[in-house]
Chain A
Amino acid sequence: MAWKVVDRNEAIVEAEGPALLSDAVREKIRSFFDRYETKRAALLPALHIVQDTLGHIPHQGMMEIAGLLEIHPSDVIDTVSFYTHFWTHPKGKKIITVCRSVSCEVMGGEAVLNEFKKQLGIGEHETTPDGKYSLVTEECLANCDHAPCVLINEKRHEGVKPENVAAILADPNNDRVTMERSTLFDAPGDSKARDSAQ
């Protein structure tokens, strides 16, 4: 039997179905190309945009980004796998990030984490069954003057005590910053779409 030689350096991108990334998302990613010398350098922005839009970065999303940036899919996977802020599987709508670094720990951060675990009924790196919350820990959030601190999506919660956790969870805007925003990575129509989804 003769060997069939396959060129492994060629990207083998098999379309898995209709395009996942909308034209608007593709356009937004392309708008970053001018900023850098290489298209690959638009990868972090691209991943942020896709994750903000879809909630995570699925395999097909990585393939499509590779196509847009004209790089090998494995380069995209390589980068995605390095950063804690990118995830390839769905997480909750709101990500609760509890700081675990030294100032927050000294100021009682662990008790806050435990209270979140208790009230949500989940452990670290887990998501509530209703898909509303995921709970993670992170190293220092550079907010140590307000330790212990917690980030819910974009919003900082400062000086959190275990007895504050219930009120934080009850607040529907616990992940929202109240300021004029730049739209750089926001999903198109983001806040309105999310409001109606809730």
Chain B
Amino acid sequence: MAAYEPVLLRNKGVENSTALKVYESRGGYQALRKALKMNPEEVVEEVKRANLRGRGGAGFPAGVKWGFLPKDRTVTYLCVNSDESEPPTFSNRVLIEIDPHMLVEGTIITAYATRAQVAYIYMRVEFHEQFHILQKAIDEAYAAGYLGSKVLGSDFALECYIHRGAGAYVCGEETGLIESIEGKRGCPRIKPPFPAVEGLFYKPTVVNNVETLCNVPHIIERGADWFTGIGPQHSTGPKLFCISGPVNKPGCYEGAMDITVRDLIEREDMGGGMLPGKKVKGVLPGGVSVGILTADELDMKMDFQDPAKYGLLGLGTAAAVVIDQDTDMRSVLRNMARFYGTESCGQCTQCREGTAWMHTIARRIEADGGRIEDLDIIAETARSMGMMPGLSICGLSDGATYPLETIVKKFHSELEESIRAQSPTETDALAGAVGH
């Protein structure tokens, strides 16, 4: 296999990599200069040709999304999604820590391409150091004339602000994010209209993930053909993968989307294998919301197509966490159920009630108060919510469906065994006692 040449993490390990001078000395902001010589439409076209699929979870092609903006618009906003709230995902954090100017440059080029006048970078509040790093990069970019009323002396004007969140998973959903910037509760909006038509302040708006935008300068600099030459068809371009849990080298690694989950865990230049004495029981390979794999399914490719073959929602955020053999699946089930139960914004009955009840039941199972039929109830509850059956406003409930249903299905015998091993007295005592 030809050695992969890092693109997004190319400045990893470079001294003072967050400084403007260092970024410029390594070719930074050349793509912006090139983009400004093109028409905005040509920039959009190049990104379309590259088939840059969104890295935030849904995998929607960025160029196509930009193409949905109404032609006759006068105001356009760009929102950069740096909420990074999906467990166990941290690639946006790593990008900002290593190369904040790559994000700033990607943001400027994207704003130019979409004719946005203001870019808001929505950043989760727990990112403190990252906030200071990025704000410093933005300040430097203003001082150097990359941002402001005349970007590099051109007629293109762009203001860029960081908008800090306040602790809510659902604000990572694009319309929840928009509501949150507007100063409201982060409750997602009913779509359509999609943000491209009616988004922030009810104006045409583009929402993209940090990693998606970090790819943009490279596409402009090296061209769409270079980009589509990396990785398998339909899943092209450089990609960040996160690996956490009991592996030797948890971290964020870059590669083409031709690696498998096993590669991510075991390759020496990636996870480096399991910690001594630890064995894989299961893997949540794409953030928690795509569902779980068993130890027999590690050959799944980390691309946009393969996960569906394993009953998963998709590639998600390409962030894998390994569950080892010493971890009780009942606690993983409860952890998932609690996450969605507490993070549901509560607008949709199925999501609010479904996630809350699944949490109640999962706690009951974990507390040795489960019943065999609880597993079916969880699976059925999970199936009866979500956008896909048309029952909810946002994808949070689909995200809840997949891990809960796949855990119950793929680890049925373990869970069943645990329930059968409970002592009957405890079952009786706890079955009624565990409420919300």
Contact = CB atoms under 8 A, between A and B. Distances in A.
Interface of A: 35-38, 40-45, 47-48, 69, 71, 75, 78-79, 81-86, 97, 100-103, 105-107, 138-147, 151, 154-156, 177, 179-182, 184-185
A44 B163 contact: yes
A113 B331 CA distance: 16
Name the residue in B167, B168, B201, B246 with the highest tally of chain A Cβ atoms < 10 Å from its Cβ: B167
Contacts of B338: 100
B156 interface: no
13 contacts: A41-B182, A44-B163, A69-B183, A79-B185, A83-B186, A84-B168, A106-B246, A139-B339, A140-B88, A145-B90, A145-B250, A156-B129, A182-B139
Interface string B241-268: 0111110001110000000000000000
B201 A38 contact: yes
Interface residues of B, number: 67
B84 to A, nearest CB: 5
B94 to A, nearest CB: 8
B181 interface: yes
Interface of B: 84-90, 92-93, 118, 124-129, 131-133, 135-136, 139, 159, 161-169, 180-187, 201, 203, 242-246, 250-252, 284, 288, 319, 321-324, 327, 331-332, 335-336, 338-339, 342-343, 345
Nearest to B182: A41
Given A156-B129, A180-B132, A106 B327 contact: yes
B166 A83 contact: yes
B398 to A, nearest CB: 18
Contacts of A154: 128-129
Given A83-B166, A142-B124, 20 more contacts: A37-B201, A41-B183, A44-B163, A44-B166, A48-B125, A75-B184, A78-B185, A82-B187, A101-B335, A102-B321, A107-B244, A139-B339, A142-B89, A142-B127, A145-B243, A145-B244, A145-B250, A145-B251, A147-B88, A182-B139
Given A82-B186, A177-B132, A140 B89 contact: yes
B183 A140 contact: no
Interface of B is mostly: mixed
Given A44-B164, A83-B166, A177-B129, A103 B245 contact: yes
Contact of A44 (B159, B165, B331): B165
Given A78-B184, A79-B184, A101-B88, A144 B242 contact: yes
Given A107-B245, A145-B242, A145-B252, A102 B335 contact: yes
Contacts of B163: 44-45
Nearest to A80: B166
A105 B331 contact: yes
Contact of A141 (B126, B185, B321, B336): B126
B166 A86 contact: yes
A147 B250 CA distance: 9
Contact of B323 (A45, A106, A142, A147): A106
B185 A82 contact: yes
Contacts of A85: 125, 165-167
A138 B127 CA distance: 13
Nearest to A32: B161
Nearest to A99: B87
A144 B252 CA distance: 10
Contact of A138 (B167, B184, B186): B167
Nearest to B135: A182
A20 B159 CA distance: 32
Nearest to A34: B159
Contacts of A140: 85-89
A81 B184 CA distance: 10
A185 B164 contact: yes
